[in-house]
Structure 1
């Protein structure tokens, strides 16, 4: 795929005639925007949820970035203004030779042209008094001296005009609630991505998008995705502060390779994490990783031992990879926090219950977990609602002969035990008594309890389908026992974190 339209005749940008009718979305008609949430801070609103957008380097070719982004944005509520001197019109909208030819105000410019042409175009955006620009192209500070010189020019233009820049070398923004998407690569089923409260801030586009793609297949409550790129202007601190106040954001997750203003960032995290969980993936843990960070971003990475201690001290739940990041976010957004660390396991297969118990009690540097001791009354009740040959001690094995109704009744009995803080349910779809209504049976028990319930399920190629169906019903599930137990650790760690904050206040 070619990265962007070359915009032949680039030197003539800004020399076109002004005037003409304003383009109004696809087919010349503006879609009515969804009602915005009240109380949202104004700081970055025109970047993350703009009203008017100029796509500079727009194209009619869907194998070029300018064409892909223009197509994606036609699904949004924005007023779109394609900019490219090669075209008179694109997708039923008038195409302008220069951003200066567009009548009226523009909230955001999405610049998709090659790096060499960006400074002159950004200068025009500044003259147009456009408040925000997304610079998609690479070839800046991450590539060498010439790239650094180009990036320095962007910074100078930013200072001169006050225009705020996301990037360069970025995928931009995905805000599914408004169908606003500047990402030019596939990132899962977008219809599954919205409806949640997790803001993802990623310095690496590929890491962030891979995480979203994986998670969207099994359910992920995304609020906003932001690709930071080279961070020549806007950085993690700007977005952390914004999402801390943005009422639709419940949880903040980030992938960073370096942190621009370490102390200020950590102090802000400490304040924010008292109200909203922060999950952080910081790369460059080893000498080789730190060296790779330098070549990837053109910046140095801090010592990892210092980072590890700082994250823990300032309220950041650190993860090691994109899978762990999305696993933690799914649990923290959807589940209530437990009162303690005592876990009960419910399984129709005894062997899996034993494996789960091993993972729970295995020493772990993050957070200790414990197998709950069930009350005699609970065990008696389990014997009453299950089969005579079921094992009613924790881990509870109701056997493969149990029905879905028995599973639900066993869940209810365990969740009502005051000695149980978390329930992990192991769910299999092949036993003779289990049918698809088990999804609804489990979801009903989850809705009726204030305790967190996590599910492990596996069913070959159909596993993701069932995990997604669980998610739609408000149940968080995972495809391995280890990941399920790990999610429980995050819930316990978050509870311990809040208790520490309360002691310190």
Structure 2
């Protein structure tokens, strides 16, 4: 149903004047980077950023599948309806000034959506920055600064956000350590197309392996749970539900004109539908990245591999303090024997496994291979540090080869001083979930275990201590 929204044959921008900083102009600038055909509509301009201008909406080419309307709330309805009558299936009015402002704006919003629907079109927004599909041939309507250069290729995580700013800034923070974005959608006031429509779309998209959602409210809570619950059986759905406090709920109402709902009721419903709930935008995108790149573990038994003993101590504390979601695996005698043979006599081969700062890249890769093969280990966290003298850039492809062939998760804690973010990005770009801090890696591991529990028994099942070391 939404294929032509994400892969439009042509995109029209209605209201771009060519003035620097004007919303319509910046939409055109973003679209030009994607390389898809563009048309611009303006009653007076002749060209906008080198694109020829059409004076009337009715004169647009017949292959326009998406129209971005960069006009104020008071004038947007007429342009949206004219575009829909021209046969444009998807309309994105970017302006605010609708339901988030009160009853007058709400009535204006209803009128716009009803008229567009009557003319055969669908609306994304209003009060939205639109959508972003990375890469050449993609589509990018974002008129705010965003990390187009860092997220330059299409990945496997779909990110749907009710807030454009939360989405754009969260993606910017995630991009510096590598992020495989399938598509980003800003729902805005979601007066027509809503979270359920996009979850259903990405659920059927074979190129999407995980869905991240930032939501402040639900347009139709029952439908959302039905749709997301069905999709979660095929691929992970992770949600950050904002507005959990009284003050937050009030902010939701002023932001999008919607009601937030009870956080306790929402959390219980998510659990029943096997939707994974997180706290914070960092945890949302980190978790979605891990879930998209890693298989779900069979249990909570974690091994930690490091060339630095101090991080082994910190990891042991973090794993044992994970509220029962993780525990340190008890390594088999065969595993410990093989680790001794692959490293030094003085290396610590209990869990955590500390190969010491004398370790080489080859030793780390072989030790990782041994840990992954231990049937008593459900997932491995690997500290990939390039500071020790025996470490080389070969560590990245070596770990990636083991991780890709493993049937259990391998998460990487990647650190290298001021080059930490670049090292993380190198891992993520070759399909390994890498994080710049131990806390973030452990948080992602906990979410993976929760995903595994979704299909091994009741949502509140607790793994017993006998499985752990």
Does TM, scored on the shorter chain, surpass 0.5? yes
CA apart distance, 1:191: 5.0
Question: 1:218 and 2:177 equivalent?
Answer: yes
Aligned to 1:454: 411
Contact 1:188 1:214 in 2 (8 A): no
Q: What is the match of residue 78 of structure 2?
A: 120
Tell me the residue number matched to 1:164.
122
Distance across 1 between alignment mates of 2:339 and 2:66: 60
Q: Which residue of 1 aligns with 2:90?
A: 132
Aligned match for 1:153, one of 80, 92, 111: 111
Which of 180, 186, 190 is residue 139 of structure 2 equivalent to? Answer: 180
Residue 174 of structure 2 contacts residue 285 of structure 2 at CA under 8 Å; is this kept in 1? yes
Unaligned runs of 5+ in 2: 460-469
Aligned to 1:156, the other structure's residue is in SS state helix
Question: Bigger CA drift: 401-410 or 274-283?
Answer: 401-410
SS in 2 for 1:74: helix
Q: Deviation per CA, 1:61-109, whole angstroms, max 9, x where unpaired?
A: 3311111111222233433211011212334433122201224353221
Partner of 2:241: 282
In the other structure, the counterpart of 2:466 is none
- What are the within-5 Å matches in structure 2 for residues 60-209 of structure 1? 60-177=18-135, 178-190=137-149, 192-209=151-168
1:422 aligns with 2:379: yes
User: What is the match of residue 196 of structure 2?
Assistant: 237
Of 250, 262, 271, which residue of structure 2 is paired with 1:312?
A: 271
Residue of structure 2 in register with 1:435 after alignment: 392
Larger radius of gyration: 1
Say whether 1:246 aligns with 2:197: no
Partner of 1:468: 425
Could you tell me how far apart the structure 1 residues matched to 2:439 and 2:61 are? 57
* Structure 2 residue 326 is matched with structure 1 residue 372: no
Q: Indicate conservation of the 8 Å contact 1:59/1:70, yes or no.
A: no
Instruction: Indicate how the Cα distance of structure 1 residues 379 and 186 shifts in structure 2: closer, same or farther if over 3 A, else same.
Output: same
Structure 1 residue 334: Cα displacement:
0.8
Distance in 1, matches of 2:449 and 2:88, equals: 46
Residue of 311, 323, 330 corresponding to 2:289: 330
Aligned to 1:353: 312
Match among 266, 272, 278 for residue 225 of structure 2: 266
In 2, the alpha carbon distance for the partners of 1:444 and 1:207 equals 34
Distance change in 2, residues 1:91/1:373 (3 Å): same
DSSP-derived class of the 2:189 partner: coil
Is the CA contact (8 Å cut-off) linking 2:123 and 2:191 kept in structure 1? yes
Q: Give the aligned CA root-mean-square deviation in angstroms.
A: 1.8
- 2:465 aligned residue: none
> How far does residue 344 in structure 1 lie from its aligned partner after superposition?
0.8
Q: More deviation in 86-95 or 415-424?
A: 86-95
Q: Residue in 1 aligned with 2:363?
A: 406
Aligned length: 458
Shift of 1:50: 0.8
For the residue of structure 2 that corresponds to 1:275, the secondary structure is: coil
